[in-house]
Structure 1
């Protein structure tokens, strides 16, 4: 894929812009989705390879990307990525990485940081919140000076000082909160929500816990067309085929599976385009029912 050009799609009255930072082999397939059997990948090789699985080496393929929505005159950035120059010692791929999101946003999409009205973090993992802020010269400050930042309240508690930064399990959790979340609170630009949160007549956030306590999805419903920006509810299309299989990154795998099945059912029944955070290739796909299970429909153009 040409990551130097933004991909654009319109659903109803909402324009969707996809900014791909990187995509490629990420981890062994059964490391990323431990319970998905080898036969499942092989049986669906024609749909999974090469965009989502490299059989030679058995590597799952993912993307790092940001979605931008323009709805009713509002510009919304969804999951602004890893950010630049972060201390992430527990995640070598993200440690001191430069994503250059602000440059790509301006150069590829024609959107300046000051033009952004709203930032949505579907959950508070390092590769979804790093672009919230810029710095560190003079300290970390909001990257989008005029934006409200919508943060799931359950994740803000879990990863914040009240829960001692994710219960003290990982140094990275403390670091990401301090450089990418706390500055939003200090600037008065953070808005916490729980349960559901309606952004406008077309866009609604819904809590889907499991991957993290506050993991969420963003529903789009406009002029009879629908999509669901599913965050990390799925990391690989193989989880459409086997929704009971959670990724190795889920904090509560069984709860994540319950949330995943619920969202897949709704996507299939409403013919909503499924837009997970890390699907490579086309990035988004329709979901179809197949008896009591699910299968792939058409990939996004």
Structure 2
């Protein structure tokens, strides 16, 4: 590890470190979350700009990132980003991308591929499973050779050959499964789960379907601290303010909105730090109840961990 300290959040006995693969504007706000009106963005400009909203261009800002959890003596990765050299014809931002994520994982978190014990894919989308694998001798192999990969069974079926790669609706879904999921299956490192799955004494996986059939959240409970890593239940903080509004990527709108509402209610009532996959800034925020609605609380602060 080159740096002598790293920016992390310490929650009870769990250290949480953010590793960013990419961050920038992703597209027009009304394309990302079509149901949220311009007035919501404008009324909350002081909370949304510049980390989540480019005001002048009216474009949403997102991050592609992985959360590294050091918990119960294990190193756990929550989602693995886009990856390098992928054929993603339907997603120009992800297509044939080349970056130094594994180098950044070591620089930012002090983690080498062989150090990773568990990989959690909250769902099987291109920007959550890409670094599951790396290219070696013209093929794909697990990037984390000693890790157990936890994949939601419902997503594995939906996006796998059993459901003909997402019902054959997008060529990208077949490519994603074949280069980022199937090789880990062949290596015998995948554990499929459904409903709930306990990772260790502090971490539990829980189904939260809608964005995809198997979308999941990771709950962290350690001492008096609580957090919930919600994957793509939210793409923007405006969805905390307007939880009925889905992103353009949600497959089942009604189910996604119901899951989002349930997760936000618990986060507000139990003081869980909300950690979505794509928030910019510090990437995590507290949620407050405001009558029948929700409000943005404090953004997470980092401490220097030596």
Q: Report the TM-score range of the alignment, normalised by the length of the smaller protein.
A: over 0.9
In 1, the alpha carbon distance for the partners of 2:106 and 2:236 equals 29
Distance 2:283 2:83 in 1: 20
Task: Report the more deviating stretch, 239-248 or 20-29.
Answer: 20-29
CA shift, 1:112, in A, is 1.2
Name the structure 2 match of 1:278: 278
State how far apart, in whole Å, the 2-side matches of 1:126 and 1:209 are. 17
Matched with 1:300 is 300
Partner of 1:288: 288
Taking the aligned partners of 1:205 and 1:148, their CA distance within structure 2 comes to 14
Q: CA RMSD in A?
A: 1.0
TM-score, normalization by structure 2 = 0.95
1:69 is paired with a residue of what secondary structure?
strand
Question: What 5-or-longer segments of structure 2 have no aligned partner?
Answer: 302-306
1:68-87 alignment runs, 5 A limit: 68-87=68-87
Alpha carbons of 1:6 and 1:123: their partners in 2 closer, same or farther (altered >3 Å)?
A: farther
* Alpha-carbon offset, residue 254 of structure 1: 1.4
What are the within-5 Å matches in structure 2 for residues 156-167 of structure 1? 156-167=156-167
Can you give the 5+ residue segments of structure 1 that lack an aligned partner in the other structure?
Answer: none
Aligned pairs for 1:94-113 (under 5 A) are 94-113=94-113
Larger RCO (CA within 8 A; separation ≥ 6):
2
After superposition, the Cα gap between the structure-2 partners of 1:112 and 1:123, relative to the gap in structure 1 and judged at 3 Å, is: same
Secondary structure of the residue that 1:135 maps to in structure 2? strand
How far apart are the structure 1 equivalents of 2:85 and 2:100?
10
Q: Secondary structure at the match of 1:228?
A: strand
Counterpart-to-counterpart distance in 2, 1:26 and 1:6: 27
TM-score (norm 1): 0.97
- What is the DSSP-based 3-state SS (H/G/I as helix, E as strand, rest coil) of the residue aligned with 1:86? coil
Moved over 3 A (4+): none
Does the residue aligned with 2:68 lie in a helix, a strand or coil? strand
Question: Is the contact made by 1:65 and 1:278 (CA closer than 8 Å) also made in structure 2?
Answer: yes
- Partner Cα separation in structure 2 for residue 279 and residue 7 of structure 1: 17
1:221-260 to structure 2, matched below 5 A, reads: 221-260=221-260
* Partners of 1:81 and 1:99 within 8 A in 2: no
1:94, CA displacement in angstroms?
Answer: 0.2
- CA positional deviation for 1:136: 4.5
Shift, 1:18, TM fit = 0.4
Q: Which residue of 2 aligns with 1:213?
A: 213
Deviation at 1:138, TM superposition (A): 4.0
What is the CA deviation profile of residues 201-259 of structure 1, one whole-angstrom value per residue up to 9, with x for unaligned ones? 10000100000000000000001100000100000000000000000010111110000
* 3-state SS of 1:140 partner: strand
| 1:55 CA displacement | 1.6
Following the alignment from structure 1 to structure 2, what is the Cα–Cα distance between the partners of residues 86 and 7?
A: 30
For 1:134, the equivalent position in structure 2 comes to 134
Instruction: Please give the secondary structure, in 1, of the residue aligned with 2:139.
Output: coil
What is the Cα deviation at residue 99 of structure 1? 3.3
In 2, are the aligned partners of 1:16 and 1:68 still within 8 Å (CA)? yes
User: Paired residue for 2:147?
Assistant: 147
CA deviations over 1:97-155 (Å, ceiling 9, x no partner)? 02322211122222111110000000000000010001152411100000000000000
Greater shift, 18-27 or 208-217, is seen at: 18-27
Counterpart in the other structure of 2:29: 29
Asked if 1:168 is matched to 2:190, the reply is no
Q: Tell me the distance in 2 between the aligned counterparts of 1:22 and 1:179.
A: 21
Q: What SS class does the counterpart of residue 230 from structure 2 fall into?
A: strand
